Structure 1
């Protein structure tokens, strides 16, 4: 299959390499550009750092004063980047925000101070449930994701042309919504809807459902291995 990867870099290229190894033809065309914010993480004493996206740790030098603080990462990629960034103690929740909150509750006492590194466009969890459980959660906006103004030209060419797109991988709710909006605005709404849409989770698939598009596959586990395993369905 020829598959559109709309997630931001550097993740898009890593995913493309995996698709090539599986015998697919990737089209790397992100619809969001991730940019680190200018601010540095706050000073002060924290009992844990919550990382729900590897993008939060892109500016590794800014985190040096927190390297001795345990990191609680949502998944393997964010955990690996935390280690590469110099953090000495990293725990991997191996799941989603709910799994991350559960991991923190098992290992940290209520009342402890937590620093949650987030993007500008963020969800309530795990901060909301941890706050309710008695933790003191400080939110630090580490990055933002900017949508493209128009559909990438290579995607427009791939819709209906030689070697036409067959499927698409969706890694975030926002990138799924943006890809859908850009495709429709460019006049390719029908071609976009006709793709096999593979979604990392039900939450990621929500913008497609709102647009009347039925996902082809929704992963039961919010990780890339489970998502890519879905590519085997239907063959």
Structure 2
């Protein structure tokens, strides 16, 4: 099966390799590109460092902050944090609720936390932690910039002009899913895009499609790439 991978690099190429191992053909064409933030990193000491995206790991490591425990939202983010040289990394179960619980298990209310995040971010877990008495500083460590037009290889794939036609798409974030819908419609290929089998990392990602009139074919039971890719076989 030929599958569109629209997530940003470097994750897109890693996913493509996994798809090849499973016997699929990946079309790597990100709709988002990661760019460094212009904002200076914060200074001072924090009781904990929060990572809700692997893309923030390297900028956080480069900030040179005093050592503090790192709380990563999931396995991939934790791995990137460790590779970047961040120490004492704790891993949540892939969602904001488990991340907030993880922080609470290690840092007392009233503690100071730094949330290194992207320019476009969700309210959680910062909102829940603030309500629980934590003092949170949010630092925009990177920006995920949307492409202006649908990537050419995707246009060809949706039109069936470039080898095997696209059969499916993998969606790893709500924002990238929404951008994929928008760009496909802008290119006059909304119908062809909706006809794909859409595999979503989480219910929140799927909701981004459904609210724009695109049905989700498969939704991972937990936000893990392995679970998502297992859905390809389960849905055959």
Secondary structure at the residue paired with 2:63?
A: helix
Structure 1 residue 77 displacement after superposition: 1.3
Structure 1 residue 96 displacement after superposition: 0.8
Stretches (4+) displaced over 6 A: none
Which residue number corresponds to residue 109 of structure 1? 108
Secondary structure at the residue paired with 2:64?
A: helix
Which residue number corresponds to residue 79 of structure 2? 80
Residue 65 of structure 2 corresponds to residue 69 of structure 1: no
User: Residues of 1 paired with 2:209 and 2:106: CA distance?
Assistant: 37
Report the CA distance shift for 1:84/1:146 in structure 2 as closer, same or farther (over 3 A). Answer: same
Structure 1 residue 71 displacement after superposition: 0.1
User: Equivalences for 1:1-235 in 2 at 5 Å?
Assistant: 1-59=1-59, 62-66=62-66, 68-161=67-160, 162-235=163-236
Secondary structure at the residue paired with 1:164?
A: coil
User: Residues of 1 paired with 2:115 and 2:135: CA distance?
Assistant: 10
Deviations 1:97-117 (A, max 9, x none): 111001111111110000001
Aligned length: 234
User: Residues of 1 paired with 2:65 and 2:52: CA distance?
Assistant: 20
Conservation of the 8 A alpha-carbon contact between 1:41 and 1:62: no
Report the CA distance shift for 1:178/1:61 in structure 2 as closer, same or farther (over 3 A). Answer: same
Conservation of the 8 A alpha-carbon contact between 1:64 and 1:86: no
The gaps in structure 1 that reach 5 residues or longer are none
- Aligned-pair RMSD on alpha carbons? 1.2
Structure 1 residue 78 displacement after superposition: 1.1
TM value normalised by structure 1: 0.96
Conservation of the 8 A alpha-carbon contact between 2:52 and 2:77: yes
User: Residues of 2 paired with 1:197 and 1:91: CA distance?
Assistant: 31
Structure 1 residue 61 displacement after superposition: 5.3
Secondary structure at the residue paired with 1:50?
A: strand
TM value normalised by structure 2: 0.96
Conservation of the 8 A alpha-carbon contact between 1:3 and 1:168: yes
